[in-house]
Amino acid sequence: MFFQQFDDWEIERQVLEFMRQLGIEPYEERLQIDGELHRYRTKHDKASETSGAYCIHPDGIPAGFVQDWRTDEKSKWKFDTGGCSNEQLEYFKSKEFKQKTEQAQKERNEANRIKHARAAEQAKQIFEQLKTAPENHPYLIKKKIYNYGFRIQENKLAVPLRNIDGIIQSIQWIEPDGTKRFQLDAPTEGVFFSIALDTLAGHPEQTILIGEGVATMAKVYELTGLPCVAALNCTRLSAISEIIRKKIPENKI
């Protein structure tokens, strides 16, 4: 049982107000308060866009951040305890409160790890059962790219997202109109889409190119013939680069 001092509705109310102040309020006002990163459609986005992001850590005194990926600006948020009593404020400074908060964070992290592991296995099983997507899928035609291992489910493209060891961890689902979503509960950190990354053995002279989107990097591969990696959003470029550098230190990125 997680230790949480504040009600979800009050946490959500404060974060939504913070988003409004930043001008990136969500199109649908429902937030997930679980300590994980979530993308969302802002009221300024088109139907297929999700330029907002947030993370809310609920344990102890809630805190987190809100991010506008159009500008890459990240704004930190912390729960306003102005409505709390003096007794509550004193308790927040206590050793007991700190210990309960740390234990709750450990329990939540472990629960998320188990959830991600199960979802990753499910994503792998789903992808392996799907048929290869046709070359005339509307999204491939619109982006003018070939099929690089994409599969299909009910006209949605299934893009395999793997870890550095090549194991499928998640799926990016792309609708014909370009709307994107990720496999529910699957890992988001350390996963990416790649083309020809497994051909580097014995070729340290080759450069690895890393960019943001799947379609972008598919086109880059067609233009260069070099191994390409899609980090899936701009904030993960550095982290994915570090993961690849550790695994493949001899190649230029």
CA dihedral sign, ordered 182, 187, 188, 192: negative
- Cβ contacts of 246 within 8 Å, gap of 6 or more: 164
Residue 1 pLDDT? 45
Please provide the average confidence, as pLDDT, over all residues in the chain. Answer: 93
Residue 180 pLDDT? 86
- Look up residue 139 and give its DSSP letter: H
Cα(11)–Cα(58) distance, integer angstroms: 8
Give the CA distances from residue 38 to residues 58, 88, 188, in Å, rounded to whole numbers and listed in that order. Answer: 14, 30, 10
Name the percent of the chain lying above pLDDT 90: 77
SS3 call for 60: strand
Residue 179 pLDDT? 85
In terms of DSSP H, where are the helices of 5-155? 8-22, 86-92, 95-129, 138-143
Cα(123)–Cα(188) distance, integer angstroms: 12
- Which of the four pLDDT bands, split at 50, 70 and 90, describes residue 119? very high
pLDDT at 120 over 80: yes
pLDDT at 37 over 90: no
